[in-house]
Structure 1
Amino acid sequence: EGVALSMTQWYPKLAEYDDEGWHADPYIAREFHGVWGDFDVKLTIDKDYVVGGTGYQQGEPKVADNKKTIHFKAPRVHDFTWAADPDFVHDTFQIENGPLLHFYYKKDLEQQYLDNWKKLQPDTAKLMAYFSENVGTYPYEQYSVIQGGDGGMEYAMCTLITGQRSYGSLLGVTAHELAHTWFQFLLATNEAKHEWMDEGFTSYISALAMNELREEKRENPLAGSYRGYIGLANSGVEQPLTTHADRYVYNQAYGAAAYSKGAVFIAQLGYVIGEENLKKTIKKYFDDFAFKHPKPMDVIRTAERITDLELDWYLMDFGQTTNTIDYGIKTVDGKSITLERIGLMPMPIDLSVTYTDGTSEDFYIPLQMMRGEKPTDATIIKDWAWAMPTYTFDVTKTVKSVTIDPSKLMADVKDDNNSFTVE
């Protein structure tokens, strides 16, 4: 789009060393697992260039001849990015009791795109407020949305995105890249090993934010992620989420795993432990692991501390294998209902039963290995042990119909057998 300089992955970067050793992955157009630090950077550039990026500018630039030197400091980050162009417009938007937002975009854009960049500014403030409230407070003094790069990519205190977009696209990409500030830059997972934790969790929280900001009122804002994952699971090319980001056979399989299955992982965890417990888990996870390099088990252990449930099975089956969830209604005989587990992955079951007299009742079947139940208003009945392929229980009235998981928050890969009506 004609931006002069988009300077990302532009300097020799230290490899992270942790309990697994050195993470010196070669760069093949993804990201590095970076080291936390305080950056002190001086850029010398033609004096007519407008520069934005990571960090805080220290005073006015020093100008000599046709050059200027700009001094930036960026505390507690693991990357430094900048972009520059002589034709950048530079707008700012101050969030009340929050950071100063910066917007850099080309002044020669068509008027419709210029209008979009103006419209974006208050909406970015709303997105920032949503993420701060629902994950954790944004800790820096500024954030910059910069036209540049080749699509949309997240960096410390900034994002580079292409600017010639419809407003819906511009806002959606900004929401996703801004959300990465929490799920990658503050909760700095190793993107090479656990790409689904940053892309998936980002997709999850940005979908919720967009649903609220645009007042879409979708019953399940993650429905697209569920479709993406289920399509992958039924495609025959799925690889487990433990696959290194650079080792997928098909790029499409990488995308569906990292973005869709990763989003379903956290959304479906809400089905397992309850939505309010999930909200508490996300905030506790941020409080405990911001400015660190969390791993998958850290999410699970956080959820266990919140709920007193045993959840390692969930990470093992959904995150470390390609086992799938597939439950069905096997038989309905008067007042007796038999369910079957067809897929290898076990789950607790939400069930809705309608009786022939027109009344209905919700049931909750705990998964025995969880050692407990999520909060629910449904009637809690006996546990289902994971090794048992079928489960039978009786109700007090004659059954008309049965539905497994009315919320559709359980990622059942073949849901055509999840409903049954007695003829």
Structure 2
Amino acid sequence: MKYTLEKLSILFLSLFIVQVTVAQQVEENNQSEFGDFIYRKGNMYRSASGKPGPMYWQNRADYNIDVTLDDEEHTITGSVTIHYTNNSPEALDFVWLYLEQNRFTEDSRGTLTTPIQGNRYNGDVDGGYQLSNVSGKVGKRGDASDKYLVNDTRMQVFFDEPIPAKGGEATISMDFSYKIPEKGMDRMGRLDVEEGTIYALAQWYPRTAVFDDVKGWNTEPYLGAGEFYLEYGDFEYSVTAPSDHIVVGSGELLNPGDVMSSTMQDRMEKAMESDSTVYILTPDEVADPATRLKQDGTLTWKFKIENSRDIAFASSQAFIWDAAKIDLPSGKTILAQSVYPKESDGQEAWSRSTEYSKASIEHYSERWFEFPYPTATNVAADIGGMEYPGLNFCGYESKGESLWGVTDHEFGHNWFPMIVGSNERLYPWMDEGFNTFINHYSTKEFNNGEYPADLDHTRKYVSWFNRETREGIDTYPDVVNTSNLGMTAYMKPGMGLIMLREYILGHERFDNAFTSYIETWAFKHPQPTDFFNHIENVAGENLNWFWQNWFYGTDNIDLSLDGVYPYGGNYVLALSNRGGVPMPVLVEVTFEDGTSERFKLPVEIWQRGNQWNHLYKTDKEVKSIEIDPDKVLPDVNIGNDKWPAAIYGEE
């Protein structure tokens, strides 16, 4: 389409007259979008700079657990002793624990709040804890109390005297048993395959709730979508299983000589020095009793993991087992390993699991923070994907791109929320969204982009942003419509960090801030405001307008290039913010001689209102102008991003 100078001059004159008329009126400004929107002031526990304050504290729970797996009755029976340290400034009369196996009963809150048509979080209803010999004792010489209260998925253990503040200690112990659910809400359970049953055990022991400086006791019930918020500590645990089972768990196997044949031990030593996958137990050996250390009875597998918030394990006689070494930036080497049934075998499927696991852990360790645990284990199970410290459960039928994606995502969770210990039950975007973001770069790097990265094309999600049924990132996971959870918890916050890095702050400023956030809050409990404050302080940018509108609202991005008009040998760009989310405006100008240049207008142009004119000075003839030329923003109207608008489809 051709524009004459006369036509352009008339258009610009008309625009100028309209804008002068509007300027004579008082236009409402957008200052409220740039100011504080939630309480973000610091205190002695959490500083205004987004760091733990000078009196920051968190409590600690160390565990000793011994359990036996019965593969005929499908039960777990065992005992737990919790050494609890109260570092808070107040004495505690009781401790709250989570009993998440109680979700699998007919009258649990989770069962009663599941829709009739069901959802991903369906679970069995014939389980639940059986408890005995409950004891709570303060110090080493205090009297033991057997007083406790169980309500749904929570348990309150009382003491004869309060646990002293600032370092007081208590011991909680009990015996427990329950039936292992077949359907464990896509987080745990059991799967029958040709060679036996795969037991994926998670939320499998009584766990302490978090007592923090923000809410005190965090006792939200376990309903379904909401995940976990747990204290850090050291774990030593043992699993007694049938002798033909292979058991893998979070942390280091302490007694390989007691449970593995000499052949398996030799292969494991080779795997610890190998960059490529080494079989510990081959597909042909799975059903051969001669490969096991014992042919009958049971074996007890002992594990240990330090500074962790949780543990999980898997057990089966059907496992193929392979492994390779992981190289960490410090020079340390650890173990990547995978266990899977023959139904999952194959180079297009789980035979690449250990390769994927190694690449994922090495990438995140190099880029963000070194992986702190001695093993990274991927387990094939009837679970879409679920993460625990150093151990994943992933779909046993996954292959190729799907298997890479779920493996990489679940291992990414070791950084959020296993290292950076946020509250998943209330703020899933602080783990799912942040993890989705780091998965983007891991996928782009793996095998030089063997598989596509989801967030390369944010505008493919525009249809969701235009739905009236969309909800905000801040919607609690057990409240949000399940059709929205993928966007509110994963994709939208992930896009938010992509925009911060690729469009708003740039790589260096963002990476400095994000890495500092991880290092600062490693093995601690950050809140949303800690994240906001820390990113702003390290990056040196007021981002209230971004947090408020993207993380705490449902408005969209719609930057518009309304027109381009000649003015004194230069050009005036008429811009508007037609969405509710202000953004800097990146502009690319292409000239008739084939060259181009870019410049960026700051977000502050929108503080005074939703229209802005920019005088662009050049001695070249402009051919076209485009905003957001790399399409980083999920702008809901691509039709107003370019001038001339009719350039789409035209020569």
Q: What is the TM-score normalised by the length of structure 1?
A: 0.89
Counterpart for residue 316 of structure 1? 548
Distance 2:228 2:382 in 1: 17
- Counterpart position of 1:411: 634
- Partner deviation per Cα, 1:215-255 (whole Å, 9 max, x = no partner): 23899751355533x3322111111111111001x211111
Partner of 2:489: 258
Equivalent residues, number: 404
**Residue identity in the other structure for 1:17:** F
- Structure 1 residue 128 displacement after superposition: 1.3
Amino acid aligned to 1:364? K
In structure 2, give the amino acid aligned to 1:46.
Answer: P
- Structure 1 pair 166–137 and aligned structure 2 pair: CA distance change class (3 A): same
Question: Shift of residue 110 of structure 1?
Answer: 6.1
Q: Tell me which amino acid in the other structure corresponds to 1:14.
A: T
Partner residue of 1:208 out of 435, 438, 441? 441
Given the alignment, which residue of 361, 386, 389 partners 1:128?
361
| TM-aligned CA deviation for residue 112 of structure 1 | 2.8
Equivalent residue for 2:309, pick from 66, 78, 90:
78
- Residue range with higher mean Cα deviation, 131-140 or 38-47: 38-47
Within the candidate set 249, 269, 287, 1:53 is matched to: 249
Higher relative contact order (CA 8 A, sep 6+): 2
| Partner AA of 1:34 in structure 2 | L
Q: Does 1:6 align with 2:200?
A: yes
Q: How does 1:4-403 map to 2 (within 5 A)?
A: 4-18=198-212, 19-30=214-225, 31-59=227-255, 60-61=257-258, 66-96=297-327, 97-106=332-341, 108-109=342-343, 111-112=345-346, 116-216=349-449, 222-228=455-461, 230-248=462-480, 250-270=481-501, 271-334=503-566, 335-356=571-592, 358-368=594-604, 384-397=605-618, 398-403=621-626
Letter in 1 for 2:303: F
Q: Is the 8 A contact 2:473 2:552 kept in 1?
A: yes
Cα distance in 2 between the residues matched to 1:161 and 1:182: 18
Point out the more displaced range, 230-239 or 349-358: 349-358
Q: Distance in 1 between matches of 2:592 and 2:565?
A: 13
For residue 170 of structure 1, what is the amino acid of its counterpart? L
Cα offset, 1:422, TM superposition: 7.2
- The residue matched to 2:301 in structure 1 has which SS? strand
% identical aligned pairs = 28
Aligned residue type for 1:123: Y
Please, which moves more after superposition, 28-37 or 137-146? 28-37
Q: 2:409 touches 2:435 (CA, 8 Å); kept in 1?
A: yes
- Counterpart residue type for residue 338 of structure 1: A
Q: What code does the residue aligned with 2:479 have? A: R
Give the whole-Å Cα distance in 1 for the aligned partners of 2:550 and 2:645: 33
- Secondary structure of the residue aligned to 1:362 is strand
Judged with a 3 Å threshold, the aligned counterparts in structure 2 of structure 1 residues 172 and 256 are, in CA distance, closer, same or farther, namely: same
Secondary structure of the corresponding residue to residue 112 of structure 1: coil
Q: Which moved more, 1:211-220 or 1:142-151?
A: 211-220
Counterparts of 2:608 and 2:429, CA distance in 1: 28
Question: SS at 1:222's partner residue?
Answer: helix
Residue type matched to 2:208 in 1? Answer: L
Residue ranges of structure 1 left out of the alignment (5+ in a row): 369-383
Q: Say if 1:401 and 1:422, in contact at 8 Å, map to a contact too.
A: no
Please state how far the C-alpha of 1:16 moved relative to its aligned partner. Answer: 1.3
- What is the letter of the counterpart of residue 531 of structure 2? V
**Structure 1 360/350 Cα, relative in aligned 2: closer, same or farther at 3 Å?**
same
Deviation at residue 279 of structure 1 after TM alignment: 2.1
Question: 1:29: Cα distance to partner?
Answer: 3.1
Distance 2:452 2:443 in 1: 13
Q: Equivalents in 2 of 1:276, 1:93: separation in Å?
A: 33
In structure 1, what residue type is equivalent to 2:473?
L
CA distance in 2, matches of 1:219, 1:403: 26
**Does the residue aligned with 1:321 lie in a helix, a strand or coil?**
coil
Cα distance 1:392–1:220, how it changes in 2: closer, same or farther (>3 A)?
A: farther
* Amino acid in structure 1 at the alignment position of 2:441: L
Q: Give the 3 Å change call, closer, same or farther, for CA 388–109 of structure 1 in structure 2.
A: same
What SS is found at the alignment partner of 1:346? coil
Single out whichever of 359-368 and 58-67 deviates more from structure 2: 58-67
| Distance apart, 1:166 and its partner CA | 2.1
Q: Residue 195 of structure 1: CA displacement?
A: 0.8
Highest CA radius of gyration, 1 or 2? 2
Q: CA deviation at 1:313?
A: 2.4
The letter of the residue matching 1:41 is Y
Contact 1:324/1:343 (CA < 8 Å) preserved in 2?
yes
Please state how far the C-alpha of 1:214 moved relative to its aligned partner: 3.4
CA distance 1:37–1:220, change in 2 (3 Å) = closer
Opposite residue 388 of structure 1, the aligned amino acid is G
> Which shifted more, 59-68 or 10-19?
59-68
Kept in 2, the 8 Å contact 1:353–1:399? The answer is yes
Residue type at the aligned position of 1:351? V
* CA distance 1:217–1:343, shift in 2 (3 Å): farther
Q: Give the aligned partner of residue 91 of structure 2.
A: none
Whole-Å separation in 2 of the counterparts to 1:180 and 1:110 = 23
> SS of the counterpart of 1:394?
strand
Q: Do the aligned partners of 2:241 and 2:315 also contact (CA within 8 Å) in 1?
A: no
Q: Are the counterparts in 2 of residues 332 and 399 from structure 1 also a CA contact under 8 Å? A: no
Alpha-carbon distance between aligned partners in 2 of 1:47 and 1:93, rounded to the nearest angstrom: 25
C-alpha distance in 2, partners of 1:302/1:20? 21
Q: Distance in 1 between matches of 2:452 and 2:244?
A: 50
Are the structure 2 counterparts of residues 219 and 349 from structure 1 closer, same or farther at C-alpha, using a change threshold of 3 Å? farther
How many Å separate the matches in 1 of 2:335 and 2:597? 51
* Alpha carbons of structure 1 residues 392 and 190: separation in structure 2 relative to 1, 3 Å: same
Instruction: After superposition, give the CA deviation of every residue in 1:337-381 in whole Å (9 maximum; x if it has no partner).
Output: 11011112211111112345544331211122xxxxxxxxxxxxx
Q: 1:22 to 1:413 in 2, by over 3 A?
A: farther
What CA deviation, in whole Å up to 9, does each residue of 1:64-93 have, x standing for no partner? 981222222221111111110012122221
Aligned residue type for 2:364? F
Q: SS of the counterpart of 1:416?
A: helix
TM-score, with structure 2 as normaliser: 0.59
Structure 2 portions without partners, runs of 5+: 1-190, 260-292, 647-651
Partner of 1:381: none
Q: Kindly provide the CA deviation profile for residues 73-118 of structure 1, in whole angstroms up to 9, marking residues without a partner as x.
A: 2211111111100121222211233321121112x326536x6333
SS of the counterpart of 2:371?
Answer: coil
Give 2:168's aligned residue. Answer: none
Find the aligned partners of 1:233 and 1:266 in 2 and give their Cα distance. Answer: 17
